[in-house]
Structure 1
């Protein structure tokens, strides 16, 4: 994959920050957008802007066709068995809340258990906390080893006859750990528990096949994979979604309404109340098309090469602690680290002076930070438009920041 050629598709990468060429290494928070995505959204607003599904005029039919074509592209991208299970949401967080509110309130009872991991982002933790509090249920956590791998040897002991759901990330946004999902799904299903997967850090970087994975729910966000903000996807097995009550109520999600009752629309529209984020869904379709043309295996290979190089180089710097599995293992393309005696925010500010954008803080993973015994970390995360020379510049800037701030 030719990252130098790909970079020409991303207009923001041509700007400077603090008088230096921008090196954008905050992709785990949000990715940049290529011309095909920007142009598709602009074209919709310039040529086909209308509400969808209801209108019979030309613009309405064009908008509907673009919106539903985006759903079909997403369906193929994640290898979903049918488009009925592909629901557009505002992002991963809304998808988690949808399942917690709709499936969870129906199925979770006092004394039941929901199994999570210590790696979870707040988005895949707080909704289950609120559900457990409401229902009198209990959250149970699968721990990790010192390098961030989940302790699967403890899984069977934690899966009990009270386990009603397993909800896990596909890849940690802090440790970079890629989770062996098929093994978890198989063992959870053997215990009678469905599985929800937070795929926010997986879908942008690793080929997704929900059919092979066997999960019951899978969620991800468009803005982390070249798409716009405000759009995401919940995949759910249609047989589960059919039995779930609506999450939001209003227009579009109904089939017929009487003064005292209503019947629900077919899937997936049953869970898409009101006017959706049409432009962003269309933009997500363009992002998925762009990634498909590159090939997700190529994206994965490129990300692994960059993170291996970063891990190897950072490990040579004195006073630097790197978190997560070693470079020899498959990781999400990110590296979280700390420099002895330097606050992560100070380090990030020093890198910004050199035009390098990294994340610093707790990364919406407070329990994991407590487990690591740190107040936060710096995090560099890579994507398909990043280059080896940018990784080298990043490591050299870290080295200079250590000399300056220590």
Structure 2
């Protein structure tokens, strides 16, 4: 018995993706995963910079590019050529959303800024993701995740006390800016459905970092306390950190009184419950270093696996410290479909991180791998109403780029479709 293919939440939504590297590309990928028809627009001379972020010279085999650009169709056009910019303006007339992460002002100079496109398509939701936003004294600066982590305060509170500054282990400002960009786009799109009006969505790497300092900012605003590095410990609750065992580490979240008492019972350390230093959370926070020592001395008597069995049976929130290989070997991660595969026309089977949000009625889907450079140029421009003669003229002039795989019909790895620049990185 066959089951009908259910439409995704954003089926029928057309997105122009003028992004590269991570923040903007992640934003548009999130929209693509939910079913939007995302058209990735790249420069012909090499495309997105992440195509070269690989261990080999072949730009079609970049894991970095494939990670950020699945579910998209690819078009290669020279935006610096007025004829190339005109192609994008033509596509923007029928688009619902445009996402870009150029340095503020660059697209305006090419005639592709918000006001210029809004004049032809007032319903367009135009999302700009940059290092510091479209306004303010730093608006013209280029931005990188490292710089945003430093300026947002994240680096000042990450790592161990007394050690040199370290950044969060993942590009959290880049990724969070992409998430906030998608959040802004969807909010603006709901408004458009009600009013018919598009709008300008503006977010930045700096604000994405600041937005994650929730506890730390609350402590500063409320108590005047400036957060400092605490390793894996929590700023407001204890015990809540990774502690050593006989063969590794275990993360324990005994963040309330009930779980604290359960932890002491599981460790056969009931005396700690009555210890005046650890009677309540304020006491445990005041004596956090001593508390960690008491717990570690007991945890080192057994392996991580043994302790996890004991702690889970006692109802104490806890887990092992996984490296990335162990993450994807975890049966729960597999059961949650957090590893999915597509077939790439050059790379063969490619694995992707699964969608982190599950919708029951309009599920997301990983339908296709990242596009080859210019893979869908003919297809996209023909859909936009351009004649074969117009398209061929632009190819001959070097304004467009195609690949040998840019031909009518689906590519290997292409799934059903809903209807089917030189950039300073943000």
* TM over 0.5, shorter chain: no
Greater Rg by CA: 2
Scaled by the length of structure 1, the TM-score of the pair is 0.24
Scaled by the length of structure 2, the TM-score of the pair is 0.23
> Comparing both structures, which one devotes a greater share of its residues to helix?
1
